[in-house]
């Protein structure tokens, strides 16, 4: 979604490169995004089932993981699905229908922000839960987690009302208005989607690691014994830490591209350069969605409790029902 001026003079070699880049963009959108959509939906459903089991029910961190899983399901089936339609199958309804243009990007930004900030809230919760200060530990509670989950939805629904107001169809493209708001939004989205989440995750992740190291060496004053975190809490810390690492690695390219785009938005660019930038922009979002889809794999490898609960559910629910169905047919 660039408002830059396009140099319409295209040489023969540029035509070849443009067609090649467009083909690569289409194929990656069809097969790469299609694969992410499939494994993302499957993983979200399984995570929702596991995190509603009794062992996780009263864990604030697990509540944030559950909320992230639910919001990711909507991310795959709206934000990612409409991106697949646009880049893989050239369904450009949003460029012709103004209200669809506004609604699509309004929901897109909300659905992408929600899981990202649920992970941030989970990292803040782990910091409070691992603190030596009793008052801070009290802030890690199911009641507080529920309030923050609801508040997160309301907050982003309000924040992105600006999309309904300032998004238009300009030159056949659904995008934000050019001028002062365009520059503001480019800088804002760079901070909101890239810089701020990375900083918050790094800060609270580092603070949590510090708390855990202190807790390993701390001696209980009353009993003279070392205090130990529960196995579930240790594994939740590991799940979150790995998720933060994945987020940082796979989300870093997007804010870097957005910063570049903000500073070059009014530059004159060739058709080849615009095509290449569209491809790079799309690939940064592919990485974001890929990061979301890896959450289930991360949890499977990071937590024995998560694996045990999932296997137990598959055995008791799926395999038992399949066995009963086979017997009834026989």
Using the 8-state DSSP alphabet, how is residue 130 labeled? T
- The DSSP annotation for 23-89 comes to HHHHHIIIIIHHHHHHHHHHHHHHHHHHHTSHHHHT-HHHHHHHHHHHHHHHIIIIIIHHHHHHHHH
Residues 150-182 have pLDDT tens digits of 999 999 999 999 999 999 887 777 888 878 888
Residue 10 has pLDDT above 70, yes or no: no
Q: Using CA atoms, how far apart are residues 159 and 193, in angstroms rounded to an integer?
A: 13
Q: Residue 328: its pLDDT value, please?
A: 52
Domain borders along the chain are 29-219+229-309
Using the 8-state DSSP alphabet, how is residue 94 labeled? G
pTM to 2 decimal places = 0.84
Q: Residue 216: its pLDDT value, please?
A: 62
Q: Which CATH architecture has domain 29-219+229-309?
A: Up-down Bundle (1.20)
> What are the CA-CA distances from residue 208 to residues 122, 200, 241 (Å)?
11, 12, 10
Q: 186-192: long-range contacts at Cβ-Cβ below 8 A with a sequence spacing of 24 or more?
A: 186/258, 186/261, 186/262, 186/265, 187/262, 189/109, 189/258, 190/255, 190/258, 190/259, 190/262, 192/113
Q: What is the mean pLDDT of the chain?
A: 85
Q: pLDDT category, 322, cuts 50, 70, 90?
A: low
Q: Residue 190: its pLDDT value, please?
A: 83
How confident is the model over 183-203, as a mean pLDDT? 87
Q: Residues in the chain, how many?
A: 330
How confident is the model over 126-139, as a mean pLDDT? 88
CA of residue 87 relative to chain centroid, distance: 20
Residues 250-298 have pLDDT tens digits of 988 888 887 787 778 778 888 899 899 999 999 999 999 999 999 999 9
Q: Are 16 and 24 in contact (CB under 8 A)?
A: no
Q: Which of 82, 72, 63 is nearest to 45 (CA)?
A: 72
Residue 87 has pLDDT above 60, yes or no: yes
Q: Residue 53: its pLDDT value, please?
A: 92
Q: pLDDT category, 125, cuts 50, 70, 90?
A: very high
Q: Are 41 and 49 in contact (CB under 8 A)?
A: no
């Amino acid at each position: 979604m660039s408002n830059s001026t396009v140099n319409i003079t295209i040489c023969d070699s540029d035509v070849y490169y443009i067609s090649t880049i467009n083909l690569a963009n289409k194929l990656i959108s069809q097969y790469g995004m299609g694969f992410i959509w499939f494994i993302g939906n499957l993983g979200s459903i399984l995570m929702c089932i596991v995190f509603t089991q009794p062992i996780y029910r009263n864990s604030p961190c697990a509540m944030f993981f559950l909320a992230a899983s639910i919001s990711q399901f909507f991310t795959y089936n709206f934000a990612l699905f409409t991106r697949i339609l646009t880049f893989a199958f050239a369904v450009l309804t949003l460029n012709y229908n103004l209200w669809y243009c506004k609604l699509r990007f309004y929901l897109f930004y909300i659905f992408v922000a929600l899981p990202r900030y649920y992970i941030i809230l989970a990292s803040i919760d782990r910091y409070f839960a691992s603190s030596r200060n009793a008052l801070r530990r009290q802030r890690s509670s199911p009641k507080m987690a529920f309030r923050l989950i609801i508040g997160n939805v309301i907050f982003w629904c309000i924040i992105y009302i600006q999309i309904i107001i300032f998004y238009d169809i300009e030159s056949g493209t659904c995008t934000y208005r050019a001028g002062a708001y365009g520059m503001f939004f480019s800088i804002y989205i760079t901070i909101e989607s890239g810089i701020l989440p990375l900083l918050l995750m790094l800060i609270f992740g580092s603070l949590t690691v510090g708390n855990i190291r202190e807790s390993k060496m701390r001696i209980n004053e009353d009993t003279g014994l070392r205090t130990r975190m529960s196995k579930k809490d240790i594994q939740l810390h590991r799940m979150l830490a790995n998720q933060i690492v994945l987020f940082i690695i796979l989300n870093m390219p997007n804010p870097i591209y957005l910063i570049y785009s903000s500073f070059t938005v009014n530059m004159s660019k060739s058709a080849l350069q615009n095509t290449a930038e569209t491809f790079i922009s799309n690939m940064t979002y592919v990485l974001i969605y890929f990061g979301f889809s890896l959450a289930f794999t991360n949890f499977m490898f990071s937590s024995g409790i998560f694996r045990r609960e999932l296997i137990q559910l598959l055995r008791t629910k799926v395999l038992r029902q399949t066995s009963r169905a086979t017997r009834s047919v026989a």
